[in-house]
Amino acid sequence: MKIIISILVSIFCLSANAQTTQFKIDEYTSKMTIHIDSELREFIVHKPKKANQRSGPVPVVFMFHGSSGTGKKFYNMSAWKELGEKEGIITVYPTGLKTCLIKDGVQKTTTKWITSNKKTMLCPGETAQDDLTFVDAMVNFVITELNGNPNRIYAAGFSNGAGFIMNQLLPHRSHLFAAFGTSGSLLKEEAQLQGDPIPLYSTIGEEDPLFIHHNNSSTLPVHPDSILANNLLARNFEIMTNMLGLDLNSYKVRTKQKSTAFGFGTANGTDFGQSYMFAVMKSIKHNWPSGKPRHNGINLAEVFWKFFKKHKK
């Protein structure tokens, strides 16, 4: 859908230092801009008719794009908008700032969410953006202005957006969210949590070239025993179960035609899959599956929403 930025609707005060400006896209969708530390930040909000018809506060899902992406791109292709219309939920699509990074000696400027390792890659003179304050402002906006339910706010992320969730939101903003869903990223090292652990569902693609590169140039395993024996995936299990306070050896496996999933629980055998789910999606490359045939028919918004609905703060 083409975004027409032509009608200035209103300005809402979020705090002494933050104001949002709203540009109407259609009856249920708006592009928002907000100044955070002198930087103009953007996000798209979709509140469908069914959300307006709810008698109480409305669940909210944030979708964080990957490197070089935008909120507009994932508004159009992530399938969250369509699911939001079906389920009557608010969906939010923020855009990261363009940032100059140096990787393997190559300098590149593109949209990014800043994680711990990205801070070590900044170009000379580049300052790390304040993405966490941006998230604070967006959450405040959907609660105070759109009747968002503060106990049912969720976040999904792809690639760099997934890394941002695991590396920044999970450790530093767990008090704002009820559950997370990530795709196309693995956490390389454990982060120190500042609050309570938050339920997480994480997926990667069997044919993702980013992980094939770190897996001796081989596609990722999909058989449960092979997954457990894989150094890359086993290390991920160790990091995430430790962060979330779960028993590494207490899990159940669910094998389906399109994925193999592990649900980790507590030592007494309860809560399996409620706190940490991890799945290898078959025949998926480095992309966000949105239900298309080339995505093996997997609609990740539907997968994550089924998980999110089980959790509230």
Q: What's the CA gap between 6 and 80, in Å, rounded?
A: 25
CB atoms within 10 A of CB 313: 15
Options 2.40.128.260, 3.40.50.1820, 3.40.720.10, 3.10.20.90; CATH of 8-308: 3.40.50.1820
CA 23 to chain centre: 24
pLDDT at 90: 98
pLDDT tens sequence across 239-267: 999 999 898 998 999 999 999 999 998 65
Q: Alpha-carbon distance 104 to 250, whole Å?
A: 39
> Tell me, what's the pLDDT at 121?
94
CA distance 74 to 78: 5
Q: What is the largest CA-CA distance in the chain?
A: 58
Supply the pLDDT for residue 272: 57
Alpha carbon distance 5, 23 (integer Å): 6
Rounded to the nearest 5 degrees, what angle is found at the Cα of 82, between the Cα atoms of 257 and 256? 10
- Look at residue 199 in the predicted model and tell me its pLDDT: 94
Half-sphere exposure of 141 (CA within 13 A, CB side): 31
Domain residue extents for the chain: 8-308
H/E stretch holding 192 reads none
Percentages of the chain per state (helix, strand, coil), in multiples of 5: 30, 35, 40
Q: So what's the pLDDT on residue 3? A: 35
The whole-number pLDDT of residue 47 equals: 97
Q: Which pLDDT value is given to residue 96?
A: 97
Cα dist. 198→137, 173, 216, 303 in Å? Answer: 20, 10, 32, 17
pLDDT of residue 214: 87
Spans of the chain, pLDDT less than 70: 1-18, 266-273
d(CA 12, CA 103): 39
